Structure 1
Amino acid sequence: MTLPVALSGSDVIGQAKTGTGKTLGFGLPLLERVTVPADVEAGRAEPGELTDTPQALVVVPTRELCTQVTNDLLTAGKVRNVRVTAIYGGRAYEPQVEALRKGVDVVVGTPGRLLDLAGQKKLNLSHVKALVLDEADEMLDLGFLPDVEKIIQLLPVRRQTMLFSATMPGAVIGLARRYMSQPTHIRATAPDDQGATVANITQRVYRAHSLDKPELVARMLQAEGRGLAMIFCRTKRTAADIADQLARRGFASGAVHGDLGQGAREQALRAFRNGKVDVLVCTDVAARGIDVEGVTHVINYQTPEDEKTYLHRIGRTGRAGATGTAVTLVDWDDIPRWQLINKALDLNFNDPAETYSTSPHLFEELGIPAGTKGVLPRAERTRAGLAAEELEDLGEPGGRGARAKAADRSESPARTRTPRQRRRTRGGASVEAQAAVTASAPATAEGTAEETAEAPRTPRRRRRTRVGGSAAAVAAATEAPAAEAPAAETPATGTTAGEPAAPRRRRTRTKAAQPETATEAPATAAPATGTGTGTEATAGEPAAPRRRRTRTKATQPEA
């Protein structure tokens, strides 16, 4: 229904159930509007019509859908050698910029990266002849609609615009009215198809307890005739947890959710398509447009948010005329939400049956063999698993892949320079130099140089300096011999003139040590009595320092 209208160049709004071939519905007219060298050789176009800038643009909401649409368009345009490039986030800029520089005919991308490259002048949208908005309602739900409007404003005014989606909310209709010119609304339904869901999908709804759900799912996955299975969760944490639990139970499982890097997400999808993994646990990021052949079971581990999400989830099975089974597990808290979905889609599961992993009707309705347990027997573990699929290093922004880092380490040259070592210093000089000076010094009265060098170092003590001079000057004045000057008594302190000045009292509880040079004073000194201060001292003895508690600072005698 879409092809004749779209090939004529008219704007189209296409609405059909998921799995009915919307990608080629807009893909074939898109490829026909692109001018390639093969058209010039066949005489269908002039050489001046060729350009290296994009001639068609497809905007999709998710990265996984972007890669899928790109592969479908490459397959359809293989004969005419149409250049199709995927532009999406989560991987390095450089390969995408290089592909745009070499020339491209059709660009398939997500809104964020498209706006980014267009803002950097790396993506030229001035020659776009056709624009396609795929899964427009999902872009509305994800908040991409303002970005889509900015992209549309960068395009030429005269163009063909096509909008495709399984559901068509009011905001999407408003977008179509603003940016489309007399669009033809095509709604494709089969005459005998009743309701919004696909008729060849068998739907089952059970009321299940959250603690019993892992065991319940493990037994469902052992049903007769099961091929590939997809399990949908509402949260990223739940998806990662269920994937790990199923892997421990022996199932070949993979996960696709927003917390994973783009390389890990694409690895899981490739392994699922190639059959190395037969259970894919994912969030709603994989519920839109993902087409994998052989999916027989879809399990809603958690109740979807609304009826649109439910339709897209179960639409991963029963595609292109095949049959499938969709099982929804509803928790007690989610009964009101499920009843709203049931009413909106006109289903017959308003009150789901209470079901546990041992319930007989579960085994009967899903075809599970009797006696099946929640662990896959070792004889049936024939899949290669997620580890068998190579993890591609996409150069994700914000950090490089582990493989690239390992390659850098292996390719780096061996270290030739000795690493710098920190040396201990003492007072600005190295410890080794001080040890050498001490070893070469002559022996003193206290011991030989060897004993001095080998003696343990006493801990360094901080000295408080006086206002009038440094600590070195105070120490020199203290060690001066008393015989250099005649003994004279100082009235203020009662000490002789040849004796050192009393050191300033330190604020410690230990008594100040008396200088030893005072004992070597000449014996001929006459005894003297101190006057004026009340303390007595002889010429051969130093006067004890007076312990004053005043805050005034004593003046220093000139040496």
Structure 2
Amino acid sequence: MTTFRELGVVPEIADALEAEGIVEAFPIQELALPIALGGHDIIGQARTGTGKTLAFGAALLQRIEHGGKEPRALVVAPTRELALQVTDDLLVAGGKLGTRVLSVYGGRAYEPQISALREGVDVVVGTPGRLLDLVKQKHLDLSKVGILVLDEADRMLDLGFLPDIERIIKRIPAQRQTMMFSATMPGEIVALSRRYLTRPTNVRAESHTESDATPQVVQHVFQAHQMDKPEMLARLLQAEGRGLTMIFCQTKRACDRVAADLAQRGFDAAAVHGDLGQSQRERALRAFRNGKIGVLVATDVAARGLDVDDVTHVVNYECPDSADTYVHRIGRTGRAGKKGVAVTLIDWSDLTRWRLVNGQLGLPFAEPQETYSTSPHFFEALGIPAGTKGKLPKEQRHGRAGLDAEELEDIGETGKIRSHTRADRDADRERPRPRRRKRSRTRTRAGPVTYTHL
């Protein structure tokens, strides 16, 4: 493996990365960094979890001019969660350079973002909608942007952001470096690259087949009964070596139902989906990233961009609707060279859809084995101890701090939420309450009751 120093990264960035234990570059970084450092346009095809953020981030930080008022680089991401993750990575890598990085996205109050822009930033990372809003309100000036990054372009296409992206690009100087990263390359993304990239170099650091693309992930597919899935899931979560786990559902309602059921069975679980307030979503994601909860139940959009290296298991509680969705889901585990386990539970009614996904990816699971929560092969395949039941034993509960231990931020949403923790609530209960004043009640001849304070 090649180190970042050997790839030409300046000592300030290399030192900051080494302080975080990041010394050797991943394949996508090894391929993309020399090109990016030379100022050339790039089309990078890489799935989530392959290290693409530093593939463009290290070059971006090294090439921009620091200390100006207007941003010199812009990173466009499809979701708030990915924008936050990219921001965190850039702040770490650019710590010794003093790089000012601002993330802007919907769901947060405008004022803090506008205030930061007025003070001056070097890099802006944001979602298309909020970026356009700030540009139209003349709070965000893109006239000095020399580097543009489109991260997870295929996902932005799925979410209907392509028109917004084109509007943003038209506000940026034509003389710029553009880097676009995408897990897949549908026709619309190829057309976008032809319009806005100049003689780009194509970089691909993964194989064409999913089985080769995820060598660190052991995949299991079981044909399951809908009514038995909660029992199967509870036993699966007690498998040997199971650490942080992500469970994917198709709907927000299913996320809430699964998370509530797991909580009743003794597991530290939280749901993340679009119906939750932004502060609630961020609290759940932080709690999961910090290890305060061990299970995150999420929809695909809500979990997009969550970058946690220690996820050991991914569970497709419901059948993914496409091959791309399956790839993105199981890509949450087996990251940074670590091993991972992906388990997919297929209902009878979803067999036809699953066979399409299976065929597109060339997987060997076209006919999943019929499986129940008591099936011996289920226990053996996943390393579940014999005799495991559908509830977590009481002596094993509360091993983590829990969701309540993570602070809920006041982010200026409608209906402001005061920052609070469990300790705050305990203090509220102990705080003495004012004595109620006695009142005498008098009934008049006309009927109404009047009160007199004593």
Identity of aligned residues (%): 62
1:18 aligns with 2:34: no
1:65 aligns with 2:82: yes
1:55 aligns with 2:85: no
1: CA distance between counterparts of 2:367 and 2:94?
Answer: 49
Offset of residue 400 of structure 1: 2.0
3-state SS of 2:226 partner: coil
Residue in structure 2 matching 1:276, options 261, 276, 292? 292
Q: Are the equivalent residues in 2 in contact too, given 1:58–1:107 (CA < 8 A)?
A: yes
2: CA distance between counterparts of 1:335 and 1:275?
Answer: 35
Equivalent residue number for residue 114 of structure 1:
131
Equivalent residue number for residue 29 of structure 1:
59
1: CA distance between counterparts of 2:210 and 2:321?
Answer: 23
2: CA distance between counterparts of 1:165 and 1:189?
Answer: 12
3-state SS of 2:96 partner: coil
Moved over 2 A (4+): 193-197, 286-289
Q: Are the equivalent residues in 2 in contact too, given 1:34–1:56 (CA < 8 A)?
A: yes
2: CA distance between counterparts of 1:401 and 1:312?
Answer: 32
3-state SS of 1:392 partner: coil
Query: Equivalent residues in 2 for 1:260-271 (5 A)?
Result: 260-271=276-287
Residue in structure 1 matching 2:341, options 311, 314, 325? 325
Amino acid at match of 1:82: T
Q: Which has the larger radius of gyration?
A: 1
Equivalent residue number for residue 546 of structure 1:
none
Residue in structure 2 matching 1:89, options 106, 125, 141? 106
1: CA distance between counterparts of 2:205 and 2:91?
Answer: 26
1:305 aligns with 2:321: yes
Q: Give per-residue Cα distances to partners, 1:230-257, cap 9 Å, x unaligned.
A: 0001111101111111111110011111
Compared with structure 1, are the counterparts of its residues 190 and 312 closer, same or farther at alpha carbon in structure 2 (3 Å cutoff)?
Answer: closer
Amino acid at match of 2:345: L
Which sections of structure 2, spanning at least 5 residues, go unmatched? 1-30, 429-443, 448-454
Amino acid at match of 2:378: L
Equivalent residue number for residue 509 of structure 1:
none
Q: Are the equivalent residues in 1 in contact too, given 2:41–2:198 (CA < 8 A)?
A: yes
2: CA distance between counterparts of 1:34 and 1:285?
Answer: 31
Offset of residue 402 of structure 1: 5.0
Which sections of structure 1, spanning at least 5 residues, go unmatched? 38-50, 411-431, 433-453, 458-559
Offset of residue 287 of structure 1: 4.3
Q: Are the equivalent residues in 2 in contact too, given 1:273–1:293 (CA < 8 A)?
A: no
Equivalent residue number for residue 179 of structure 1:
196
Q: Are the equivalent residues in 2 in contact too, given 1:126–1:155 (CA < 8 A)?
A: yes
Q: Are the equivalent residues in 1 in contact too, given 2:81–2:303 (CA < 8 A)?
A: no
2: CA distance between counterparts of 1:194 and 1:60?
Answer: 24
Q: Give per-residue Cα distances to partners, 1:83-142, cap 9 Å, x unaligned.
A: 000001111111000000000000000001000111100100111001000000000001
Q: Are the equivalent residues in 1 in contact too, given 2:408–2:418 (CA < 8 A)?
A: no
Offset of residue 288 of structure 1: 3.1
Q: Are the equivalent residues in 1 in contact too, given 2:407–2:419 (CA < 8 A)?
A: no
1:168 aligns with 2:185: yes
1: CA distance between counterparts of 2:206 and 2:385?
Answer: 37
Amino acid at match of 1:347: L
Q: Give per-residue Cα distances to partners, 1:212-241, cap 9 Å, x unaligned.
A: 111110110000111110000111110111
Q: Are the equivalent residues in 2 in contact too, given 1:256–1:283 (CA < 8 A)?
A: yes
Compared with structure 1, are the counterparts of its residues 345 and 77 closer, same or farther at alpha carbon in structure 2 (3 Å cutoff)?
Answer: same
Equivalent residue number for residue 441 of structure 2:
none
2: CA distance between counterparts of 1:203 and 1:93?
Answer: 43
1: CA distance between counterparts of 2:185 and 2:93?
Answer: 27
2: CA distance between counterparts of 1:17 and 1:10?
Answer: 21
Query: TM-score, normalised on structure 2?
Result: 0.84
Equivalent residue number for residue 255 of structure 1:
271
1: CA distance between counterparts of 2:408 and 2:86?
Answer: 22
1: CA distance between counterparts of 2:84 and 2:106?
Answer: 11
2: CA distance between counterparts of 1:287 and 1:348?
Answer: 27
1: CA distance between counterparts of 2:306 and 2:233?
Answer: 22
Amino acid at match of 1:367: G
1: CA distance between counterparts of 2:175 and 2:64?
Answer: 15
Amino acid at match of 2:78: P
Residue in structure 1 matching 2:146, options 111, 129, 133? 129
3-state SS of 1:244 partner: helix
Q: Are the equivalent residues in 2 in contact too, given 1:197–1:311 (CA < 8 A)?
A: no
3-state SS of 2:44 partner: strand
Query: TM-score, normalised on structure 1?
Result: 0.69
Q: Are the equivalent residues in 2 in contact too, given 1:135–1:288 (CA < 8 A)?
A: no
2: CA distance between counterparts of 1:310 and 1:304?
Answer: 6
Q: Are the equivalent residues in 1 in contact too, given 2:206–2:213 (CA < 8 A)?
A: no
Residue in structure 1 matching 2:219, options 190, 195, 203? 203
Equivalent residue number for residue 379 of structure 1:
395
2: CA distance between counterparts of 1:402 and 1:73?
Answer: 29
Offset of residue 20 of structure 1: 1.5
Amino acid at match of 2:82: L
2: CA distance between counterparts of 1:265 and 1:178?
Answer: 36
Offset of residue 211 of structure 1: 1.3
1: CA distance between counterparts of 2:198 and 2:378?
Answer: 52
**Residues matched between the structures, number:** 396
2: CA distance between counterparts of 1:194 and 1:147?
Answer: 31
Equivalent residue number for residue 348 of structure 1:
364
3-state SS of 2:121 partner: coil
1: CA distance between counterparts of 2:36 and 2:358?
Answer: 35
Q: Are the equivalent residues in 1 in contact too, given 2:270–2:296 (CA < 8 A)?
A: yes
Offset of residue 305 of structure 1: 1.1
3-state SS of 1:325 partner: strand
1: CA distance between counterparts of 2:370 and 2:412?
Answer: 48
Query: Equivalent residues in 2 for 1:110-509 (5 A)?
Result: 110-189=127-206, 195=211, 197-381=213-397, 382-396=399-413, 398-401=414-417
2: CA distance between counterparts of 1:291 and 1:153?
Answer: 30
Offset of residue 360 of structure 1: 1.1
Question: Higher relative contact order by CA 8 Å / sep ≥ 6: 1 or 2?
Answer: 2
Amino acid at match of 1:358: T
Offset of residue 75 of structure 1: 0.4
Equivalent residue number for residue 474 of structure 1:
none
Offset of residue 189 of structure 1: 3.0
Offset of residue 388 of structure 1: 1.2
- Root-mean-square deviation (CA, aligned residues, Å) is 2.0
Amino acid at match of 1:329: L
2: CA distance between counterparts of 1:137 and 1:112?
Answer: 17
Amino acid at match of 1:71: D
Q: Are the equivalent residues in 1 in contact too, given 2:77–2:126 (CA < 8 A)?
A: yes
Amino acid at match of 1:174: A
